[in-house]
Amino acid sequence: MASTLTTNQYGAALPLIPERGVSSKYKVRYGVQWPWAQRANQVVPTEYLSNSNQAGYVSKAAGLSLIKNNVHQLLSTQLGQRVMLADYGINLTKFLFEPVDETTFMLIREEIYATLAKYFSTLNILSLKVFSPAPGYSAIIIQLTLQLFDESLEAFDIGVKIG
């Protein structure tokens, strides 16, 4: 049986990078914002939450506020903390009793890069800073500057504190 090694190409070659970027059929995506019981930027008292007849106390978020909320929730969730999503989250508490030095900061950066690449393929990390506010201070501060891969290409900042 004979085989051929020639190929035919029909049509025009596609560019490597699309000119318009990522687009969606639906312009706005909605999600639930955390904390759940929030209305007009005020936290609802717990006595209202026990009454199941109360409606409208779950905040709806869209766009940039939804993405910020989701990234902050991911960075604040411990690995294995979510029910039925054992690999969701990031294990930043393992760095609590480590020495506050550049090696620890590098390990935290690598953990954050891997986690964001896994769960947020629509984000580009512009800047990631991991530092301690003062010498001898045991807390670690993480500052992220992210950019969306959509029509807007908006950049935004997120901060998380460990310890």
Residue 11 lies in a domain: no
Which of 37, 62, 87 marks a domain boundary? 62
Range of the domain at 83: 63-162
134 and 158 belong to one structural domain = yes
Residue 110, pLDDT score: 94
Other beta carbons within 10 angstroms of residue 124's beta carbon come to 14
Residue 113, pLDDT score: 92
Residue 111, pLDDT score: 93
Rounded-to-integer distance, Cα 19 and Cα 100, Å: 44
Rounded-to-integer distance, Cα 93 and Cα 77, Å: 10
* One-letter identity of residue 42: Q
Residues 44/51, Cβ–Cβ less than 8 Å:
no
Query: 12-42: per-residue pLDDT in tens?
Result: 766 655 555 556 555 666 677 665 554 444 5
Query: 51-97: per-residue pLDDT in tens?
Result: 444 455 566 777 777 888 888 888 888 888 888 888 899 988 888 78
108 and 48 belong to one structural domain = no
- Give 103's pLDDT tier (boundaries 50, 70, 90): very high
Residue 48 has pLDDT above 50, yes or no: no
Q: What is the mean pLDDT of residues 151-159?
A: 77
Residue 108, pLDDT score: 92
Q: What is the pTM of this model?
A: 0.63
Rounded-to-integer distance, Cα 78 and Cα 80, Å: 6
58 and 76 belong to one structural domain = no
Residue 58, pLDDT score: 65
Q: What is the CATH number of the domain that holds 104?
A: 3.10.450.40
- Tell me which of 26-35, 60-69, 112-121, 123-132 is least confident: 26-35
Place of tokens 């992210």: 146
Which of 44, 62, 80 marks a domain boundary? 62
